[in-house]
Each structure stands twice: as C-alpha cells, then as structure tokens.
Amino acid sequence: MMTGEKKEKLVMDGSEVARAVTRIAHEILERNKGTHNLALVGIRTGGVYLAHRLVKRMFEIEQVQVPSGDLDITLYRDDLSMRKDQPILRKTTIPFDISDLKIVLVDDVFFTGRTIRAAMDGLMDLGRPAEIQLAVLVDRGHRQLPIRANYIGKNVPTSRDEIMQVFLEEEGEDDRVVILKDAKEAQEPAGGAP
C-alpha cells in the first residue's frame, strides 16, 4: 500500500485471524462430528488459502487430512453479461467427487451473498453434495440474497460503500483484515464479486 496506508482501519490483526481459523476448525469438526465425509472447498483467491489453513488446523486436531479443492466462480457470476470486459478466469481444481460429501465452502469476506450463490451453482455442476455449509473469515453484512454462514470468524458492521480487504501471508502480506476508507485508492477486493 502506498498512500492508502494511513487510511486503512484495522479490523483483525494476525493473531485474531489465526484464532478465528482455529475456532472455525473446531466448530466444523464439532458440527460434523469429526471428519467423516467432509471436504473443504475454497473460493478463489482468499478462500483457497483459508481452506488450506483450516485443513492444516483440522489435521493438528484430529490427525486426519480432510480433502480440499479450489473453486473459481467467474463463469457463474450474475454480472457477466453486464460487464464491459470479462474478468480473468482462473482454474477450478477439485480432485475428488463431491457427490454425497458434506462440503464446507470457504471464503474470506461475506458481503452480498452473490459470490456464494455463484459458488453453490458451480458446485452443483460438479456433483450432488449431501450438504453445503459456509465458513467465512469476516461477515460485513449487506446481504442481497437469503444466504447465511454457518461459521463466522468475525462480524464487522460496515457501510455499503466501504471496501473491506483481507491480506494473507500466502500473498506476501501480513495477515490482517482492514477497511479502506477511500474507495478510489482501494484495489479490487480479493473475492472479486461485489
């Protein structure tokens, strides 16, 4: 960050992010009574890193490696026909059959719910999961669809036009969640969709 640095408001620091991931890992295991038939799917890009962290945490707790995959929702976005330029397409890599599994979708910021709608449609095209659950690092409100999360790192009240950004070590940043005050200087949020 250059000039935007002094304008970012810290919402979660590195240790808070780590604790939230640990708690969510425990909650997933508790709710699903272990790791049987469980798989994680991270939504590109931030959700993929968080899913990998959850898998690692769950391994430390249960000594079981939960399968995980990466989902790119670009082709399922509801604003494709309205955009002037098509967003960059990334790869979906889910190296197992999701049918009859309990899938936990993982994303960084939970906002309008449109990304999650797209992700659920994308998953359904890959198979018929027994159940889909949702884990997010931060929930900033302003839902536009009737979707809720099962696991939430932190609830953060925001105004509609603020920009929330999650920085993660995997992208060469210190772990933190911030609100950027000046929308003009902000980059596009990691989740991509509004």
Partner 1 sequence: MSLKHKDLTGIASLNADEIMQILETADSFKEVTGREIKKVPALRGKTVVNLFFEPSTRTRTSFELAAKRLSADVINFSPSNSSVVKGETLLDTARNIEAMQADIIVLRHSSAGAAETLARGVKSSVINAGDGWHEHPTQALLDLFTLREKKLELKGLKVAIVGDVAHSRVARSNVYALTKLGANVRVVGPPTMMPACVERLGVKVYYDLDHGLRDVDVIMMLRLQLERQGRALFSTIREYSRLYGLTPERLKLAKPGALVMHPGPINRGVEIAPEIADGFSSVILDQVTNGVAVRMAVLYLLSGAGN
Q: Which residues bind partner 1 (CB under 8 A)?
A: 72, 74-76, 80-93, 121, 125-127
* Neighbour order of strands in the sheet with 163-167: 8-12, 176-180, 163-167
Nearest to 3 by CA among 182, 192, 159, 178: 182
Q: Are strands 102-110 and 131-139 parallel, antiparallel or unpaired?
A: parallel
Amino acid at site 153: G
Q: What CA–CA distance (Å, rounded) separates 194 from 156? A: 17
Instruction: Give whichever of 36 and 91 is closer to partner 1, judged by the CB atom.
Output: 91
Instruction: Give whichever of 119 and 138 is closer to partner 1, judged by the CB atom.
Output: 119
Least Å distance, CB 135 to partner 1, is 24
Instruction: Give whichever of 65 and 86 is closer to partner 1, judged by the CB atom.
Output: 86
Three-class secondary structure of residue 177 per DSSP: strand
DSSP 8-state secondary structure symbol assigned to residue 138 = E
Alpha carbon of residue 96 to chain centroid:
20
Instruction: Give whichever of 76 and 111 is closer to partner 1, judged by the CB atom.
Output: 76
Nearest to 154 by CA among 135, 166, 142, 138: 138
Instruction: Give whichever of 36 and 84 is closer to partner 1, judged by the CB atom.
Output: 84
Three-class secondary structure of residue 5 per DSSP: helix
Instruction: Give whichever of 72 and 108 is closer to partner 1, judged by the CB atom.
Output: 72
Six-digit token pair at 121? 């449609």
Which residues are CB-neighbours of 85 under 8 A, at least 6 positions away?
Answer: none
Least Å distance, CB 148 to partner 1, is 24
Least Å distance, CB 122 to partner 1, is 8
